[in-house]
Chain A
Amino acid sequence: IFFGKRKKMKNLTLVVMLLCYSFASSSGDSTIHTNNWAVLVCTSRFWFNYRHMANTLSLYRTVKRLGIPDERIILMLADDMACNSRNQYPAQVDYRGYEVTVENFLRVLTGRHENAVPRSKRLLSDEGSHILLYMTGHGGDEFLKFQDAEELQSHDLADAELLIMVDTCQAATLFNQLQSPGVLAIGSSLKGENSYSHHLDSDIGVSVVDRFTYYTLAFFERLNIYDNASLNRSYDPRQLMSTAYYRTDLYQPHLSEVPVTNFFGSVMETIHTDSAYHAFSSRISNSKIKSDTPFNQPFNQLSEQDVKEDLQNTNNQNDELKTEKQKCPYSEMRADLHEKLKKIENVDTMVNLSIAVMILVVMVSSSLL
């Protein structure tokens, strides 16, 4: 099927740049951008899809050059050209071959891995991360094909809280289902249009890169780490041979204010401090961060503020309850009980104790009666 397509140079490349903002509970503006992650996925195998592999690997090189370290890049390649022994600069491929599946991809995005999955295969982003997700392969109306056997559909992507820039054949359709706030969508082609490959290499006989990626990378080649170029670049429809489409209604800041290196590079604010470095506790644990360095203080303040706000809210609610139901003593008692229940933090130990008490009563009563 694909030979005909190759001849006609109709290729569907999907460039999905997903920028993930996880907001702190108070407001999005107070999130500090601390690190960048990149998830680069190539979903096609076989020789005639060489250009997809090349797309992914060229973007891998770009983001590495602009500063994202290997630990924060997850590279998923469906075919193993990068790890060929003839390759002088082997890439650190995290998911290779048949491991590139829709299930693994969604596991990377949602973070729900099994125990045995090593850290290099996990997307360990936090509230301050910006994530670049680049996917290339064959796609179509509201789907992206994974390895000839399965597909990722637009509503699968929509469930993630992501900023999506989709560039593919009929790219605009893949983000039809997006509704989450903080999502920016840029597509390279509208419904019914194709995205084309750029040029053919006569030595290897296949197309080596796609147009959208080519022009994007050409733009990046001119950048270095300290440039301030914004995301608001325009693609020339004549060069792309398709119409680029921006969907900005869900994204708050204006495109021209967002620097490109927010997502593609690794520029971080450095705060000079004289106090000693304290290690972070795990973001999953419930304990508060106890370090005193100014770098950690914003997080600490945020969490304290949240706790204070919650307590204030519950106190307000309790006051309201009390004033409303002061007439009936029974409901007063119930309200008191509810308050006590809410204040009990360790419900579990109480339940366990009660079960133990129940069993004791059973044993005692059955021996007596």
Chain B
Amino acid sequence: MTKDDGEMVEEQKKKPCRFWIWALSSVLFRLILISYAGNLNLSSRPEVSTPLTSIRRLAEGYWLKQASMSPYAGSMYHGSPLLLSLLGPLTVQRLVAETSSNDLKLCFNLVEFKKEDTLDVSGSKGNQVTSFADILSAILLRGIGKKLQMAYGLNARLLGLLKSPRDKGILPCGDIAALVYLWNPFTIVCCVGLSTSPIENLAVILALNGAVTRRVPLAAFGLVMATHLSLYPAILTIPVIFLLGYGLDAPPLKLFLQTRNVESGNRSSTSSASKQAKSKPTAQLPFLWKTVVHFVFWALVWSLCVMVLCRLSLSKHGGLEEMFKRTYGFILSIEDLSPNIGVFWYFFAEVFDFFRNFFLIVFHVNILFMLLPLAIRLKHRPCFLAFIYLAISSLLKSYPSVGDSALYLSLWALFVNELADMKFSFFLFCGYLGVSLLSPVMHNLWIWRGTGNANFYFGNAIGYACFQIVFVVESVSAMLNHDRALKKCNPNHQKVKN
């Protein structure tokens, strides 16, 4: 036993070092890309920058604000005014004054620079912010993963499936998820291409981390900020409330009820499900109302702060109403039909005006319809529920980008232990790879060479949507199969014991 202990301790010491080595090398890779891959033009690609996340639009909004106009004038910027005041100054670059004499100018038409503020879309300051956001998200993901891994090990031991007191054989899902997030080409591309998706992803991960580690103000802050930046994380209220009320992901309560006769250990557990199973013979999970009320209070406090700050920054330009109309209104009404990797732009370009509102309602309600059934089916696994919600919203949102995929792919990696038997994983991997390689090609063929047309690019977007749908469906079924497999294991185990 001591030898095992020693080995385990050494391994555990090595793992953090290896994690940090990989994390820092990903930052290095980003720096290399930033310095040497300028002609990739990542910030102008529709996959990376949408009307909501584009840094150029943010710079334009900031310029308008500096010129004492409303930042939403001209329908360029559609984001939060807080982000504008934080990131705006980073987009401004001052050119050094150079003069050339007039005679030379006539002959050679030299250009004269003047000391004025210009847009610095390729600047390194913005890249520092996005890289920092990425690293922070990775660290928070690691925290979430550690908790989930502990809970998984604990539940496995409680169910009698795991005999040793160490987490042997359980994959370190925190490290894996963090490294998947850092090394995902989608994340790297968003970081180097200076979109605001890393910041939105950070807010979502902050909310999940707060909920998982039971830090209520943090969870409330993350959720409020995420909703403020882009509307869709509002649906994460349900999984966050479940996380705070019911606790972490655990197998269904019935399994614990079945094993309570077998288990007689006195170990403390973090999962309220197992405690409940031991004390009362009811089949209901307890819901911690106190924490949830606490969460609601903090959410209200943070939303009030955010509203006040927005009102302050937009006091001269129309106030909150203008902000809501231009941010949430823009998201919900899909005014901008420039191509992206989603499927709505193509559809709304040809729909008749008479039916436009109807189809808008249909597409947005499509997300809302899925919330309730999934919540009912997966309420014992709130973290997984959050992952599914994020995947669905990034599939069906108005202006998707690869930054959203980066987020849910890394959350998927948090569940490697449960989703080890997922079907079609290789097919999906190849699908994602193919789609992401073909997308810039089709865009180039359509826009720049003129030899393709919108159907090429849209076909690619449809393929991407199909792969995402298969991914979501397969992960849900894999998780439910895992629960069923646990249930099957248990009676056998009971029979053996008895």
A367 to B217, CA, bound (A): 9
Which of B106, B112, B118, B313 touches A115 (beta carbons < 8 Å)? B118
Tell me which of A119, A341, A350 has the highest count of chain B C-beta atoms within 10 A of its own C-beta.
Answer: A119
Cβ B86 vs Cβ A352 within 8 A:
yes
Cβ A282 vs Cβ B115 within 8 A:
yes
Residues in A with CB closer than 8 Å to B215 are 366-367, 369
Cβ A366 vs Cβ B86 within 8 A:
no
Chain B residue at minimum C-beta to C-beta distance from A362: B221
Query: Known interface pairs A120-B111, A348-B313. Does A358 touch B218 (Cβ–Cβ under 8 Å)?
Result: no
Asked if A218 is at the interface (CB within 8 A of a chain B CB), the reply is no
Query: Known interface pairs A115-B118, A119-B111, A358-B221. Does A347 touch B315 (Cβ–Cβ under 8 Å)?
Result: yes
Asked if A332 is at the interface (CB within 8 A of a chain B CB), the reply is no
* Main DSSP-derived SS at the A contact region: helix
Query: Known interface pairs A92-B109, A115-B118, A362-B221. Does A341 touch B309 (Cβ–Cβ under 8 Å)?
Result: no
A284 to B114, CA, bound (A): 11
Chain B, interface size category, equals: 20 to 34
Taken residue by residue from 322 to 354, chain A's Cβ proximity to chain B (1 for < 8 Å, 0 otherwise) reads as 000000000000000000010000011011101
A248 to B412, CA, bound (A): 70
Taken residue by residue from 176 to 204, chain A's Cβ proximity to chain B (1 for < 8 Å, 0 otherwise) reads as 00000000000000000000000000000
Residues in A with CB closer than 8 Å to B118 are 115
Asked if A71 is at the interface (CB within 8 A of a chain B CB), the reply is yes
Residues in A with CB closer than 8 Å to B309 are 351, 354-355
CB of B480 to closest CB in A, whole Å? 33
Query: Known interface pairs A351-B85, A351-B312. Does A282 touch B116 (Cβ–Cβ under 8 Å)?
Result: yes
Query: Known interface pairs A115-B118, A119-B111, A362-B221. Does A350 touch B312 (Cβ–Cβ under 8 Å)?
Result: yes
CB of B58 to closest CB in A, whole Å? 14
Asked if A365 is at the interface (CB within 8 A of a chain B CB), the reply is yes
A366 to B218, CA, bound (A): 6
Asked if A141 is at the interface (CB within 8 A of a chain B CB), the reply is no
Cβ B210 vs Cβ A284 within 8 A:
no
A63 to B39, CA, bound (A): 42
Asked if B179 is at the interface (CB within 8 A of a chain A CB), the reply is no
Asked if B216 is at the interface (CB within 8 A of a chain A CB), the reply is yes
Chain A, interface size category, equals: 20 to 34
Cβ A341 vs Cβ B312 within 8 A:
yes
A355 to B117, CA, bound (A): 25
Asked if A126 is at the interface (CB within 8 A of a chain B CB), the reply is no
A140 to B114, CA, bound (A): 41
Asked if B82 is at the interface (CB within 8 A of a chain A CB), the reply is yes
Tell me which of B109, B210, B302 has the highest count of chain A C-beta atoms within 10 A of its own C-beta.
Answer: B109
Asked if A118 is at the interface (CB within 8 A of a chain B CB), the reply is yes
Chain A residue at minimum C-beta to C-beta distance from B93: A115
Residues in B with CB closer than 8 Å to A369 are 215-217
Chain A residue at minimum C-beta to C-beta distance from B313: A351
Query: Known interface pairs A115-B119, A284-B116. Does A71 touch B105 (Cβ–Cβ under 8 Å)?
Result: yes
A264 to B252, CA, bound (A): 86
Chain B residue at minimum C-beta to C-beta distance from A70: B106
Residues in A with CB closer than 8 Å to B217 are 361-362, 365-366, 369
A336 to B132, CA, bound (A): 40
A366 to B220, CA, bound (A): 10
A348 to B84, CA, bound (A): 9
A285 to B117, CA, bound (A): 9
A12 to B119, CA, bound (A): 41
Residues in A with CB closer than 8 Å to B473 are none
Residues of B bordering A, CB below 8 Å: 65, 81-82, 85-86, 88-89, 102, 105-106, 109, 111-112, 114-119, 210, 215-218, 221, 302, 305, 309, 312-313, 315
Residues of A bordering B, CB below 8 Å: 70-71, 92, 115, 118-120, 282, 284-285, 341, 347-348, 350-352, 354-355, 358, 361-362, 365-367, 369
Taking A92-B106, A120-B109, A355-B82 as known contacts, 13 extra A-B pairs with beta carbons closer than 8 A to each other, sorted by chain A number, are A115-B118, A115-B119, A118-B109, A119-B112, A282-B115, A348-B85, A348-B89, A351-B81, A351-B312, A351-B313, A361-B217, A362-B217, A366-B215
> Can you list 18 A-B pairs with a CB-CB distance of less than 8 A?
A71-B105, A115-B118, A119-B111, A282-B116, A285-B116, A341-B315, A347-B312, A348-B85, A348-B88, A348-B89, A348-B313, A351-B81, A352-B85, A352-B86, A358-B305, A362-B217, A365-B218, A367-B215
